[in-house]
Amino acid sequence: MVKRQLPNPAEIFELMQFRKPELDAKKRRLESALTIYDLRRIAKRRTPRAAFDYTDGAAEQELSMRRARQAFQDIEFHPSILRGAAEVDTSCEIFGGPSALPFGIAPTGFTRLMQTEGEIAGAGAAGAAGIPFSLSTLGTTSIEDVKAANPRGRNWFQLYVMRDREISYDLTRRAAAAGFDTLFFTVDTPVAGARLRDKRNGFSIPPALTVKTIVDAIPRPWWWYDFLTTPKLEFASLSSTGGTVGELLDAAMDPTISFDDLETIRGLFPGKIVIKGVQNVADARKLVDLGVDGIVLSNHGGRQLDRAPVPFRLLPEVVREVGKDTEIAIDTGIMSGADIVASIALGAKFTLIGRAYLYGLMAGGREGVDRAIWILADQIRRTMKLLGVASLAELGPQHVTQLTRLQPVR
Ligand SMILES: Cc1cc2nc3c(=O)[nH]c(=O)nc-3n(C[C@H](O)[C@H](O)[C@H](O)COP(=O)(O)O)c2cc1C
């Protein structure tokens, strides 16, 4: 029998803890986000459909993107016991410089479309967190303005080689002059992938006002207020001619780029040359033999060839083949700090986040990006502590098993 008594008012009083309400709506909104998926939900609510879908979507049936995220979930972590450290060291060296965390911000095109603070928010947040920021050739902020937003931090430039080569070469020289220390040469975009959501939404650049977009705007007045009261949304380094992002890409990109272009680019840029979009071992080996400074295993966040290999699945094999000879970074599908820890454990030196940062940007501008970085950093630290490692260097393949769901028929 449970012994009962009358409720004691003093005891009830002790239990009552009314916290001071957070009056800042943005702060309240962002603090309610505990995961990147939470930021995604907030972003979706606040961003017009065409802009959200441009960011959130991928190519064709979006199988690559879903598989990439699934692959990170299909792992098992193996913790070691009784080695706990009070603090963990999450810093690393990558492409000749430091990073406070094992991830950086990936290059993304048309970033101010998502939220008008765009690259300035990303570069500022990256600088404050001590991680690198990458600016896309298709960025909406100039090289020099990014440098001004992140004057002491590391800035990287992503290069698309365009039909008009001089435009690309000029951007490369400008990035070098502004002190950008690493160049990502993206090689997975001979033509644009089929972003079907953009087609279905009638999404164009600049965004067109149609009956559909106006109806969609009604519940999202703040996005439109921002959009209409800030400088015009346009590519910072490219004159756009209208159309979908895919059509613009196809018009601007040179599909005939080859390994020979590497030589020219190296001649223009004194910093590190890293090839982004590597998707098999043979190409990785060839690039190493050509003397590149690093590679990024990536399928462009599933936005190019749908059903391309999942980079995280490719990682162990590429590490085995060229890991001793070059620095390997990885992206596509990273939605949590645990995904980043798993990548490092399997031999990646670094990771990049695309959408994870953009969801933060859409959810709350600069503070939203700060929140995204904080969430990932917190998850990284906790995962490392639970695994019983005190530094990234202690992580190894013994900490992760990849569980098979889709495997090749041999
Ligand atoms: C909206 C958006 C725009 C992108 N634009 C570019 C780009 O201009 N250049 C590039 O090399 N990669 C671009 N990417 C690919 C990212 O650099 C990165 O490879 C990808 O986002 C990683 O996958 P994740 O979004 O799952 O993190 C873009 C990705 C997104 C989501």
| Rounded Cα distance, 318 and 17, in Å | 54
Q: Are strands 133-135 and 155-159 parallel, antiparallel or unpaired?
A: parallel
Q: What is the pTM of this model?
A: 0.95
Higher-pLDDT residue of 181 and 223 is: 181
Site to probe by mutation for ligand 1, drawn from 303, 331, 332, 335 as the one with most ligand atoms within 8 Å of Cβ, is: 303
Beta carbon of 136 within 6 Å of any ligand 1 atom: yes
pLDDT of residue 401 exceeding 80, the answer is yes
Beta carbon of 158 within 6 Å of any ligand 1 atom: yes
**In this predicted model, what pLDDT tens digit does every residue of 334-380 receive, in sequence order?**
999 999 999 999 999 999 999 999 999 999 999 999 999 999 999 99
Q: pLDDT category, 407, cuts 50, 70, 90?
A: confident
**In this predicted model, what pLDDT tens digit does every residue of 94-122 receive, in sequence order?**
999 999 999 999 999 999 999 999 999 99
- The SS3 assignment for 295 reads strand
Residue of the CA atom closest to atom 27 of ligand 1: 354
Provide, rounded to the nearest whole percent, the portion of the chain with pLDDT above 70: 99
Q: Token pair of 182, please?
A: 């690493």
* Unique residue bearing structure tokens 């951007």: 171
| Rounded Cα distance, 244 and 249, in Å | 9
pLDDT of residue 239 exceeding 90, the answer is no
Beta carbon of 129 within 6 Å of any ligand 1 atom: no
Nearest atom of ligand 1 to the alpha carbon of 353: 27
Site to probe by mutation for ligand 1, drawn from 47, 136, 197, 375 as the one with most ligand atoms within 8 Å of Cβ, is: 136
Residue of the CA atom closest to atom 15 of ligand 1: 300
Q: Which CATH number does 28-402 carry?
A: 3.20.20.70
Please give the average per-residue pLDDT across 50-57, as a whole number.
Answer: 96
Whole-number Cα distances in Å, 384 to 111, 248, 340, 396: 32, 43, 11, 12
Angle between helices 337-345 and 355-387 (to 10 degrees): 60
Site to probe by mutation for ligand 1, drawn from 248, 300, 350 as the one with most ligand atoms within 8 Å of Cβ, is: 300
Segments making up each domain of the chain, as ranges: 28-402
Kindly give the distance from the C-alpha atom of residue 316 to the centroid of ligand 1, in angstroms, as a whole number: 22
Q: Token pair of 380, please?
A: 């990284």
Nearest atom of ligand 1 to the alpha carbon of 110: 3
Beta carbon of 331 within 6 Å of any ligand 1 atom: yes
**In this predicted model, what pLDDT tens digit does every residue of 9-43 receive, in sequence order?**
888 888 877 778 889 999 999 999 999 999 999 99
Q: pLDDT category, 242, cuts 50, 70, 90?
A: low
Nearest atom of ligand 1 to the alpha carbon of 186: 11
Residue 20 has a pLDDT of 80
Residues marked as catalytic:
300
Contact 303, 59 (CB under 8 A): yes
Cβ-based neighbour number of residue 208 at 10 Å: 12
